[in-house]
Amino acid sequence: MRLTTTLLAAAALLGGVAHAQQSLTVVNFGGANGAAQKKAYFEPFEKAHNVRITAVEYNGEQARIKAMVEAKKVTWDVVEVESPDLNRGCDEGLFERLDWSKIGNKADFQPAAVHDCGVGIFVWSTVLAYNGDRLKTAPTSWADFWNVQKFPGKRGMRKGARYNLEFALMADGVAPADVYKVLATKEGADRAFRKLTELKPHIQWWEAGAQPPQFLVAGDVVMSTAYNGRIDAAQREGRNLKITWTGGIYDLDYWVIPKGSPNKELAHRFIAAASTPEAQAEYAKLISYGPTNNKALARLDAKVLEQLPTSPANSKDALRFDIRFWADQGEALEKRFAAWAAQ
């Protein structure tokens, strides 16, 4: 009888430990962003909630989420997605509809961060970057980026229509607020491609985010479009790379919960914890992506703020990436770009 009692007690104890130590699988894009998330979000959440977080790195393959959801074998609990994938996945029923009452007060967040299926994690920007050791006169606009007489040398640009068409129109004098209105017309698209053609002999294409800082450091280009977080990482390594924020295009990455996650409640708790001002401020100190919870900005000093896309000085002449526009017209414009680039 005593043995049975002991076994029952041991089983109960083990059951309690198993229940206490829950696990959560969180998926992100890795790199400096993944390292910052680990320190600012994962480790504090594990400690506070006695949860083991398994971090998985991916490259934004929505097809993997779709396959899990359709097979009803979902092993990912929280996933970082880019804005076009958020909208597409939500429309296709791949993500859970979020219960914002468990996450936070919508009024505390940037409007773009609030979505039925997602919560904005951070704001990032595609900007004009240059090497401060090689350019003594700072370029101040996309018109300067196009001015090869004043600033001789190659320009690095991402190989694709997205961002480049917007930059071309701003270089041609279109105000940021009017870019998508102009680009939505046939005349506006023609104008953007004409402007790109002017610069084409001077362009060195890049396809991975790590390439622009490499090109700039090596002196292969005098300026490049770049993701601001990549320039920040190079600056932290001691490189004298600089950013011109005027006309930068900002966008957000989001947390989503794949439809059918077995840990939906815990996933909500993780997203809520990662969306607090304290956690977001800690993240912004580790990598220069802007908080989506506006209350986080008050927790950051001037040195950190001046590197963020969301600081008032850097965001005043910025353009928000228009997801709907690219969802509607992106396919046709990317095909046209591919044909143009191949000429």
**CATH number of the domain where residue 216 is located:** 3.40.190.10
pLDDT value at position 271? 98
Give the Cα separation of 339 and 158 in Å (integer).
Answer: 15
Number of neighbouring beta carbons within 10 Å of residue 277: 18
* Helical axes 186-199 vs 164-171, angle rounded to 10°: 90
- Asked whether residue 303 carries a pLDDT value surpassing 80, the answer given is yes
- Overall average pLDDT of the 19-43 stretch: 90
For residues 140 and 241, membership in a common domain is answered with yes
pLDDT value at position 311? 86
Which among 31, 89, 51 is positioned nearest to 257, based on CA atoms? 89
For residues 193 and 53, membership in a common domain is answered with no
Give the Cα separation of 201 and 98 in Å (integer).
Answer: 48
**Residue 259 Cα to chain centre, angstroms:** 22
- Asked whether residue 13 carries a pLDDT value surpassing 70, the answer given is no
- Asked whether residue 45 carries a pLDDT value surpassing 90, the answer given is yes
Give the Cα separation of 95 and 89 in Å (integer).
Answer: 6
- The reported pTM is 0.83
Question: Is the distance from CB of 71 to CB of 93 less than 8 angstroms?
Answer: no
- Overall average pLDDT of the 286-303 stretch: 94
Give the Cα separation of 125 and 83 in Å (integer).
Answer: 13
Q: Which domain holds residue 244?
A: 125-250+317-342
The total number of structural domains in the chain stands at: 2
- Asked whether residue 240 carries a pLDDT value surpassing 90, the answer given is yes
For residues 246 and 274, membership in a common domain is answered with no
For residues 224 and 134, membership in a common domain is answered with yes
* Banded model confidence at residue 1, pLDDT cuts 50, 70, 90: very low
- Asked whether residue 147 carries a pLDDT value surpassing 60, the answer given is yes
For residues 208 and 326, membership in a common domain is answered with yes
* Banded model confidence at residue 290, pLDDT cuts 50, 70, 90: very high
For residues 208 and 71, membership in a common domain is answered with no
